[in-house]
Amino acid sequence: MNQPHRTVVGSRREFLFRSGGGFGALALSSLLGEDGFFRKTSAASQESLDPLGAKLPHYPGKAKSVIWVFLEGGPSHLDLFDPKPALAKLAGQPMPESFGRPITAMGTANNTIMPTQRVFQPHGQSGIWVSDWYPHIARHVDKIAVLRSCWADGLNHVGSVCQMNTGDILAGRPGLGAWAIYGLGSSNQNLPSYVVLTDANEVVGGPKNWSSGFLPAIYQGTQFRNEGEPIFHLAPPGTIGGRQQRSKLDLLSRLNRSFSADKLEDSNLAARLNSYELAYRMQAAAPEAVDLTGESRATRELYGCDDPATEKFGTNCLLARRMVERGVRFIQCYSGSGSGWDAHSNIEANHSKNCKASDKPIAGLLADLEARGLLDSTLVVWGGEFGRTPFNEKSDGRDHNPWGFTMWFAGGGIRGGSVVGSTDEIGLRAVDERAHVHDIHATILHAMGLDHERLTYLHNGRDERASVVGGRVVEKLFS
C-alpha cells in the first residue's frame, strides 16, 4: 500500500522557510506564464485559449514597444534630413533628363527644380545634418538612425498611407501593429495592445489603416481620444453600477462559453469572448491612462502640453509614453492627421506650422523615455507615407515623392548617430541601401524579436505575412 507523502517539519523556522519557498514558486510560475514560458500547445490551441496571451518571440528583441510618429501627408526630406546642394545649383531649371521623368501625382515632372530655403547644420558627435525647422530634435541626433533611402509604391495619400500601415496600397490587409500583437500577444491585461492617437482630423482612409484584416478581430488597433471619453461607448450608463455590470458579463460569459465548448478551434469566437472581458477591464484602466493630472509641470513643459502650438501633438506623445509604461506594445501618434503635411503650395507656411507642432513633443518624448530607462526597450519610428519632390508645384510647393524619402528610428537596439542609405543628387530617388515599405516593416518586427518570414497566418490557403512576398531587415540600422 502506498503511503501518502508527508514532510516532517522540525521547527517553526523550517515551516516558515518551506512556506515562503512555496509562495515564491507560485509567484514565479505566474510571471513565467505571463511571459509565455509554459506555452507548448499548438498555435491554433493557443489562439483559441487566449488570443492575447503573451507569446515567445522568435529571438530576443530589444523593443518591447513601438511608438510610430506618423507624419501624415508627406514631410519633405529635402527640407528636413536630406540636404541637397545640387538643388541650389539647378534652381529654376528643368530637371535634367538623366534623372528620368517619373509619373507624378499632380503632373509636375516637367516643373523646375526648387531649392530649399532652410539652413542645414551638422549636430551632435555624429554630425548628422538637420535643418533649422527641427532645432529640438537636432539635439538628439546621436540617439537616432536616419534612413535616407526609403521608397514606396503609391502616388496618392489613401493608397500610400494604407501601404505604410498594412504593406499594400489596397485596403484589406492587417496593420503592422496587428501583426505585432498576433506575434507577441499582449503584455498588459487592462488596455488594448495596439493604440492609435490622432491630433487633428481623421486619418485618410480611416480605421482600415489599423484594421486586423484577415487576422482575428482581437488584434485590430483601438483609436484613443485625448479629450472626453478615450474610447467611444466604453463607459456603461450611469444607472448601471459595477456589481450589476460584472454580473451581466459573468452571465454572458457562461452562455458564450457553453456555446463555444465544442468550438475550441474557432479563433474568431474566442476573440469575441476575450474582447468582452477586455472592455470591462478597460472601463477603469483607459480613463486613468489618459488622465494627465498627475504629470508634473516640468513634464508637461517638456512635451509642450501648455503651448497652444504644440499642445495637441505634445499631449499625444505624452500619452504614448504613458501607454508604454502600462504595457501597450504598439502606439501610433499621427501628426497632421488628415494629410496636414501635404504641401502642394506654400511649403514654407505648411511645414513651419507642422514642424513647430511636432519638434518639441518628439524631442521631449525621446528625452523622457531615456530619463525613465524606457528608450532601450522602446522603438521610436518617425516618418510619413512618402516624401516631396525636388521640383516645384504651384511655384512654392512640392509634389508627392514615393521614389525616395527619409525615415528615422531611435531606441530598441537602433545604432544611434548613424545615417543609412542615400537618394540621388537631387533627392528624387533612393539609390543606395534602398528600403521598400516591406523592408521597413521587416525591420520594425525584427526589433521586436519577430522574423517576418516566420510570422505567418494561413488565409485562403496561403501563408500570409506582414511583408507580403518581400522584405529584408535593414541590418545597418542596428547596433
3-state DSSP assignment of residue 460: coil
Using a 10 angstrom Cβ sphere, with 0-12 exposed, 13-18 middle and 19 or more buried, the burial of residue 437 is buried
The lowest-confidence range among 55-64, 186-195, 432-441 is 186-195
pLDDT digit string (tens) for 385-416? Answer: 999 999 999 999 999 999 999 999 999 999 99
Of all residues in the chain, the percent with pLDDT exceeding 90 is: 72
Question: Span 56-60, mean pLDDT?
Answer: 96
- Minimal CA–CA distance to 47: which of 282, 276, 263? 263
In eight-state DSSP terms, residue 18 is: H
pLDDT number for residue 388: 98
Confidence label for 289 from pLDDT (cuts 50, 70 and 90): confident
* Residue 330, all three cell numbers: 504598439
- pLDDT tens figures, 8-35: 666 777 666 666 666 666 666 555 555 5
Residue 43 scores a pLDDT above 50: no
pTM: 0.85
> Mean pLDDT for the chain?
89
* pLDDT, tens digit (0-9, with 9 covering 90-100), for 311-327: 999 999 999 999 999 99
Distance CA(277)–CA(257), nearest Å, equals: 13
